[in-house]
Structure 1
């Protein structure tokens, strides 16, 4: 039987859909019962018998820091997809990020070892990959992480979580790690998910930025994870991106497919510098939630180009174009608007 942690998230829900469609026996963890409705809704995008597919999943309420609950979830499990994570770039959330992303992953690794799990697939992020000084140079899986850089709190904890997985491999665990770029998928239009980008563009964005990052469709992430899990590849990490493009180009493509006006003004470095400082002041004086940190402002302007050749060669993998991904997601977003 397969265990999926974080089954109610963007990756987790799409992974569950594909696994159930493949007639796999699946158990999944969740933390709050109301979030199960998200998974049902994602299933309904693609299947008329979505309720029937959803009911094939063995759901277990378990926080990844609740060891007794996890021990119950691991009973009878042979393979684990660890998708559960906390996504935040707010500096004041660092302790919570460590608790969930690093300590939680350590718990999963330890239970994989004690339960003699055959293989673990961990969903990390390109945030946990190093950078190169030359912006034109492609970043690959061998690009070293630099702890001296001004890394975001999210990146630090995802890198720390990877170290826990690699520690597990030294103790005999078979594992693979995937490092997706910005994951594009439908059904999660609010919060930290990339779906909120579609919502923001639809509502109207004034500014664009010219930073470059890698994008990937959620079904490509899921497909790569399943193929890696079913392969004889162990103890390797893989960057998952379809294309590198500017944030401006991405915003323009989404605006085109949603039939709205794209952002017209460039957010220069001085403006973003002012914005994150004002955001910090608002947090310190009034306790407002951070929307823009120094690190995310820097990321919006940075040029990072990622190399996806390793996964292509290992699995003869073909990615969906970002144009196709955006078009499909925009259609689902418009359908939700009409509903």
Structure 2
């Protein structure tokens, strides 16, 4: 990675009395795949629009490759945006859609068609140039939108939830293809998503956004395994949050703790804990089969509950059945402390 391709310095954005972005500092390295992850209304899309130039910050500074662009309009920034609805022209061919930006810039026809075909080849749509968007699948239209954004070789590609309209299997395939495309082109990608799996699958780093502020930035594994706040722990996947008296009863220590459901082991009551393990007993309140894994809700004394996720790799202990009393075990270190 090279110098900062994108840099936000003390950026705020107000819409009337509403502060959508609240004092954000952010730096993306050149050639990085970076994701802004957060729920609807968290400010992540506003951050992307500030980088694109569709919005201007109330205070603060936006830089691209070391150059301040805060006051520049979108067409004067070396960035391109792919939107969720793709925004393809239905009356144009695929090739014409991809070449449109070059035509507006006055690039000669032969050159723009050659570059459009090169961009289509990059997204594995060789030979699709004469077709119209209506003749393509959802995944193919998404690739055309990517090719159109890549045709003039921007320094930064902005992706505003581009996979949201795709079905699950296609979305997962496109996640892999997007990551491979980013590695091949070396372009800095900034993805906005509310999907934790997308952020975990594709990102070099991820920023979790809440109420216009960045809660945590880091590699996906670090953010997942070592969340900085209870919000991050709860939003970045599924977790068991234990506070106050519940933490003392279950974890054996005061404070606030996150225990990931996949870290908890189900066992018969007769099985003792190993060295370094914490154990509690409870009742199987619910069992949900979810394909590759099964999710268990375990009712503990004092109305405490724990969620356990178990991969469907082998049989369960005989005692694990509805309403049965069972033992839960996990390593002490898997109860991760959080700020109160």
Regarding TM over 0.5, the answer is no
More helix by share: 1
More strand by share: 2
TM-score of the aligned structures, taking structure 2 as reference length: 0.30
Greater Rg over alpha carbons, structure: 2
TM-score of the aligned structures, taking structure 1 as reference length: 0.30
